[in-house]
Structure 1
Amino acid sequence: MTETDPDTQADLASNKKTSKWLEAPVLISSLALLGLSLIWAATVHLTDDVLSTASRNTASMATDVADTYEAQVIRALREIDQTLKLVRYDTQRQTPEAAMRELGERDLLPPSLLFSIAVLSPEGNLLATHGNFRLQHPEEHTFFQEALNANQLTLSRPIDTEAGTFLYFARGVGSNQNQASGVVALAVHADYFVSGYDNTTLGDVGALGLVASDNHFRVYRSGDAISTGLPMGNFIGELPKLEDPSLAPLMYHPWDGVERYTVIRELFEFPLSVVVGLSHREQLEPALTTKREYFWRAALASVGLVGVAAILGFLSWRLQRTRQQAMQERVLHAQKVEYLAFHDSLTDLPNRAYFSRLLTQSMHEARRYERQFALLFLDLDRFKHINDSLGHDAGDDLLQEIARRLSRSVRESDVLARLGGDEFVVLLPNIPDPQQVAPVADKILAACGKPFTLAGQEFRVTVSIGITLFPKDGDDEQTLMKNADMAMYHAKELGKNNFQYFSESLNTDSLERLTLESSLRHALERNEFRLFYQPKRSMKSGQITGVEALLRWQHPELGMILPMQFIPVAEENGLIVPIGRWVLRTACQQSVEWQKSGLPPLNMAINLSARQFIDESLLDDIKQALQDTGMSPELLEVEITETMVMRDVETTVDILKELKSMGVRVAIDDFGTGYSSLSTLKQFPVDSIKIDSSFVQDLTRSVEDRGLTEAIIAVGRNLSLNVIAEGVETSEQYEYLKEQACDEFQGFYGNAALPADKLSQLITSLEGNSAEPRE
């Protein structure tokens, strides 16, 4: 027998083992085991991924819901706080009932179906209400005492009433001595803060609520169940800190035993926190269903290795598609939220926040490439009058049309934004020469100056523009915007419908204005005011028929200050009312003294400011002045502007009727500059209308001004009113007005405003002499 070589025997054994593994049963079993391992390994991995993704999405969704809920709550609380501040402000300057009534008439109070407002005395008595304010004995509640003793917004615990559970917000009403003289309180149903969500967002056991600093819920909602006053315990301190702040942590809620992805946010401006929780079990139920589905499919796939690839491919495709859809939805939602956050909802222009970003970016680029750019600050002239006379809908239509015209007036590379109200800004990048800004400003003025059709009527609205240059006029956003705003107000002071560049002199004027305001508070006490009297003369005879009392300020350091410099300041700080009361009494007393000295009785005209006209003590002040001085009411004439008349026609008619019943004459000043019509003017019991000096100034050169002047005189003649022309300075103006049968005139062509003694001498010198005016 032949022996086999050892090496050959080793090779044969190796081949035998290899062939054994290649046999069908072994190979199939091996492939089956390998396939089953792959199937179940992949299945376990996919199900874990689904659960992990679902958990992460739920945690992220909880954060998104919290962001939305926090924004809504802050907006609601700001509106509530703004309402309280507004009521408190008006209550400090007039009686609570009058303040509440006025705010209600101006639609500045929230709807009474949702909110009720009350002004309470320090003892808790109701002084004025808006809506059904149901709280009994408010003085017994902690929030009332806190509001009474602290200058901040206070919030009550939930209080049960017959109409449900309410939350009460309050602020103290300060007196002149900074002591609380009452409380303004606002009541809102507790459900108001959690009623904006349905179960599609929160689920059946999702949580939503507001927590105060005492760790008690002011209102809490889980599913459809809403509760108040629920204690939360020291839950906030147990929240874990995660590496990713956009994901909500999973926490056990001890008050109802539910595990939720929880977000708690402390509100920066208010003593509250928002709580949002999405149930772990409820939100992951679809993922658990998917997990069971995957295991079932894996079990079926294990029967035959043929379906392994198809099943795994299907699961992978299904999972990838779910991920893509979820990601796409999140991207679309984020884009929508970002757009709404950075664009104005009315005009679709960038808003203040977005413009701030663009301005900062432009500053960085300008510094880097050593360039300069221009910033135009635009404000509509007399926009408030359109809102008051035509309504806010017409005002919104006007703002939208202004935005369209501005968009067509600037280049694509320029930035146009709306800051709010009737304020717009335009950023012109890369401006080598400041004079290149002027054509753009002219183009904007021309575009905005074209007629508008609002509520079936044609109007012309102009804009005033302030211009600043970077970095010359400011090296930061705040300075640049402030200086542009200052330049814009300078443009308004120069007659509106123009543009002005910023200069350091404007900043100096601003400081002088602050100094002026400080001195103005003591001017009345120090007897620094003076009255000058400008004669009104007859067109036919030239005789002096009356005088208009004009206020001057004899400042000890600045000298004589004209009204246009200090009257706006007095209007803003409320000093115009006591100053106007002094003018009224002084003018009446002067009229009586002139008569005692032998001068003939003269009509005394006194201007009323907008603030004086709406002051509730106006009629009493006039009665008291006439009674104290003994002046005949028929010699007193009050002048109000056409704009003041049109703000509230019904109230104006009531006031004018009261004045007429006293025997006082009424004149409408600056006639032709407002929006009144002949039919509207007929409602007002007035005696005279005064043609604005802006029409008289260009009377001999402007066909449009001549037409307006003739129309005003015709209106006065049709209504049997006395027509007075202001600002007559030349013989041409005088002769033209005389030909048009104007009744009286004022201006330098007749006489400038004079002190009382000089006017007395003038009247005496005219007696027996020719009264023909001279240029």
Structure 2
Amino acid sequence: MMLLVIWGSAYFLVNKERMAIERQAELSVGEITDTYEALVVRALREIDTALKLVRFTANSTDHASVLSVLNEQRLLPPALLFTISIVDEQGMVIETTNSGLLGQRLMPPSQRTLGDDYLAVGEVDAYQEKQLTFTRPLMPEQEGSSGWVVIAIDANYFVSSYEVRSLGQQGMLALVGSEGIVRVRRSGDTIHTGELMDIEAWKSSTLDAVSDPFLTHWQGVERYTLVRKLYDFPLSIVVGLSAQEHLDAAQQLARNYWQRAGWTSGLLLIILAILGRLSWQLQRARQRVMEERVLHAQQVEHLAFHDTLTDLPNRAFLSRLITQAVKLGGRHGDSFALLFLDLDRFKLINDTLGHDAGDHLLQEVARRLTSSVRGSDIVARLGGDEFVILLSKVGRREQVEPIATKILSSVREPFMLAGQECHVSVSIGVSLYPFDGLDEQTLLKSADMAMYQAKQLGKNNAQFYTDELSAEMDVRLTLESGLHRALADHEFRLFFQSKHDIEAGNTLGMEALLRWQHPTLGLLEPTQFMTLAEESGLAMPIGQWVLENACRQNMLWQHEGFPALTMAVNISARQFYDNSFVESIKQALTTTRMNPKLLELEITESMLLQNVQRTASIFAEIKKLGVKIVVDDFGTGYSSLSDLNALPVDALKVSSSLVKRLSGTRRDQQLSASVIELGKSLGMQVFAKGVASHEKTRFIGRHSSLSFHGFYSNRPLSAEQSCEREK
């Protein structure tokens, strides 16, 4: 059957291609005939119009000047192609556009049509070239001959449109007279005249010879031929395309199809032989393949619903289990709890010990979590270091708290990672069904909020979802969405707090304090939004804005006549360790043209501990600019005195927590005084921060005229309020 299909298809394609080529040849003959007819008719009409124009002019003027007058008026066709002559009744040329013919004798026309007014077509030999002549009488209304107007043109002109590309070498363009005499014919590059072509016999043998192409066999060539009679003129046109030339392509295709059919048949027989050899092997392997497919399907299903690293249920499987638990809870009134867990310090483990150690940690945590819950509970991994535990048949906090405590204790046990003992904790958020949500998304969101609260409260603890927590998260989302437009909408403000010399009583400098004028939440302090800014990557652009605007305000005060005061700007850790931090300082100073000696950068003492070596290199670049460096919150960190003494620090700002102790017991006062004296012993300028009472001011005054600022001396004010106060 397949062989029958192959050879039947080959036969069908061969016939189809042959018929398509024959049809295309017939269409091509029609198109070429239409074009050729239009060209010939246009040329004949131009010739006939010129004959009638010359005759009309000759009948109304002197014969000797007719052609000259018309030529001057550019009414005659170009002399390069057409030769126009006026002949008298004896056949003598009396005027012509070709001076070589003047005075010669031409044979009178022998063809007449339509009475005395006729268009005669004839032939002459001139300069070894065949020319066609077109003649009309000068005075057709008179009896007898009174002369003629003759236009001669090279016969090649009527077949010059022959294109080998479309007609081939054996095609045909011909102009045939009414007697069947070929006036001119071209095939390829060869031109013939004077042949006899029996057009009437062709027409009588074909019913549609006038409108459709037909096959003719003339002079040994079979052609698709179309004949058109030019009814306004005693001529017909004949267009032919060689059948052999057009069918060569079909024959070549036929050979290709038969060859391909033969090759395909041979290949098919070989394939059938091979298949016969392999069929019994296929039968033996079929059972084994089916078993492998079943096993593979089971593996795929397992991978689709389980985490590849820990082999715990993944997010998709957990979603299905929670949805099922919600349906059962709604039907039977059962309750359950969701525990959302996130490992603390997991990123540090990954960064320091590598991802292999991190993967091993996740596997070990998964094992400990599974062993810490009941067999009916589900432990799933969402991704990264996030896990979710589904506790069934629990509905009160008292039931969840012992399990959460057991989980916290289990995870706190040390892990052996890359040959080192590591300690990791976990933060847990808990939501209860149906109290904290009635669907999967709400329950997970509630547990996630509670887990975030556990992170905020110092990690390594478990927190339950509350409505107040939801409100706090709504505020957080509002702040997060507003931070991205705060800079563009100019919602940030700078407030300024003065720094005083307690002995002289004058102002030493100003400190720029950032505030956010939120459109709905009001005026916010940095502690309410800077943590979010660092998490969202906006700490650097906000810090740059504070730096530039603080310097710009300092210069505005100087231009208004105020003394040149120092301007202190707080720098966050994210901003300080950014690679472009030093360049941002240069840009701010260059833009505002402020003296670098007036700029003070306040760095917290805790930042010095993160990377002392890198901090020292950054400090060195800052000092090259001439900018001062102040260590903020001095006395609260654990920086070594050797590090402080080695770093190019200009001043120390005593922590406000130590200043608060000044109003406490004698021991608290001695502790604060010791820290202040320790800072002064390092050879640095020391001033107090957060002075808010007269007693603290008097205490500071007893310690070497310590500079200070705080609410007691001056609350943070806007630039305009600060300007009015100084005035």
TM-score class, shorter-chain normalisation, is 0.3 to 0.5
TM-score with structure 1 length normalisation? 0.44
**Largest Rg, 1 or 2:** 2
TM-score with structure 2 length normalisation? 0.47
